[in-house]
Amino acid sequence: MILARCLPLIWLSLLTVCAGRTLHPLPVKGPKSVNLQLQTSRPYNIAHRGSNGEIPEETTAAYLKAIEEGTDFIETDILSSKDGVLICFHDCILDETTDVASHKEFADRKRTYDVQGFNITGFFTFDFTLKELKQLRTKQRYTFRDQQYNGMYPIITFEEFITIARDAPRVVGIYPEIKNPVLMNQHVKWPGGKRFEDKVVETLKKYGYGGSYLSKKWLKKPLFIQSFAPTSLVYISNLTDSPKVLLIDDVTMPTQDTNQTYAEITSDAYFDYIKQYVVGIGPWKDTIVPVNNNYMLAPTDLVKRAHAHNLQVHPYTYRNEHEYLHFNFSQDPYKEYDYWINKIGVDGLFTDFTGSLHNFQEWTSPLPDTSKSPRQLLGQIASLVLPYAKA
């Protein structure tokens, strides 16, 4: 009976092996007990705010979609509510991606605060309790993207985000950003004089996250902690050995906490310093390869120099729409992925369209090790087939 059920999959597996292709099961197919490990042999597919090219960003649905489509890591931005609960939300104001403006009961919450030297007016997350934030519903940021999910999904907490990754049918990493730490520490106070950064690390430890990059503990629950604030990353280095990534803004933007220029934080001297605390950098991709009139120019040496300092490079953000694809790629996102992975040599990519990156990497995955004996190949096939037969 088991053999009869497995014959189609065995036949497919044999065809795959004979054709010289590695069989990668779909991430969410098969029994729950099959806990596929994180791949570490190719650049990481990082779901930027979930699969937000399709579903409103930083929602449960966007993260579940990204996992279904094959992401390695789900990425989120951490902010705080008025009562100190960590939430997943990108902007410090709620205006762009929620229906807060339609809630008349919150009309008097609009404020103006200084954010990195700019006066920003809007409905700030830290002026709302978690209970109040949960009354809001999210919406798609860009009008040229699918609007059908507007008003359907609530803001989620950091703990709810972690649960999504933990409940996945395979190992899925998390990639939280300590967002606007200066602003959060100014406006939210936690008991015992704790800082925003303390709360982030406490939450990660509560759910068992920790371990240096590629350690056994890390591989069970993969994690990168990112921030645009160097002092936050240095501070948490005394709290956790989890790998950290320094995000790098446009060449015109100084760091939000130390007011350092782009040139300063991308110098060899600074790389020598910061590599004591981080395993990589996350630059905006247009600073790696400058752009003029929507045409890419010659690449800088940023990736080469970062690699020379043993730093990974995870650029942001890759998007399928023609508004974001430079003319060099003929409106083809696969050409863009090919350029960044195979010519520039990045180690991970933040993408709004996880499925596209996953498909590109699957279709271009390297041939399997032909040195394996037939017995080893059959064992590989059996490891894929047997869990399905027992289901």
CATH number at residue 335: 3.20.20.190
The Cα 121–Cα 129 span in angstroms is 19
The answer as to whether 260 is a domain residue is: yes
**C-alpha span between 135 and 125 (Å, rounded):** 13
| Residues paired with 124 in a beta bridge | 93
Domain presence at residue 141: no
CA angle 342, 345, 349 (to 5 degrees): 95
Q: What is the DSSP string of 361-382?
A: HHHTPPPP-TTS-HHHHHHHHH
What are the φ/ψ torsions at residue 111 (nearest 5 degrees)?
-135, 165
Q: Is residue 22 part of a domain?
A: no
Tokens of 366: 């390297």
User: 10 Å Cβ neighbour count for 292?
Assistant: 8
The values of phi and psi at residue 12, to 5°, are -65, -40
- 276 occurs within a structural domain: yes
Neighbours of 18 (CB within 10 A): 9
Domain count, the chain: 1
Taking only the tens of pLDDT, the chain with its 391 residues reads 444 555 444 444 444 444 443 333 434 444 444 458 999 999 999 999 999 999 999 999 999 999 999 999 999 999 999 999 999 999 999 999 999 999 999 999 999 999 999 999 999 999 999 999 999 999 999 999 999 999 999 999 999 999 999 999 999 999 999 999 999 999 999 999 999 999 999 999 999 999 999 999 999 999 999 999 999 999 999 999 999 999 999 999 999 999 999 999 999 999 999 999 999 999 999 999 999 999 999 999 999 999 999 999 999 999 999 999 999 999 999 999 999 999 999 999 999 999 999 999 999 987 555 445 555 555 555 554 444 444 4
Q: Has residue 294 been placed in a domain? A: yes
What is 108-121 written as a DSSP string?
A: GG-EEEEETTEEEE
Asked if the structure places residue 18 within a domain, the reply is no
Instruction: Quote the tokens at residue 323.
Output: 């508004």
Please give the model's pTM, rounded to 2 decimal places.
0.87
Residue whose token pair is 């990108």: 90
Spatial contact of 57 and 97, defined as CB atoms under 8 Å apart: yes
143 lies in some domain? no
In a domain? residue 118? no
- The whole domain housing 64 covers 49-92+155-363
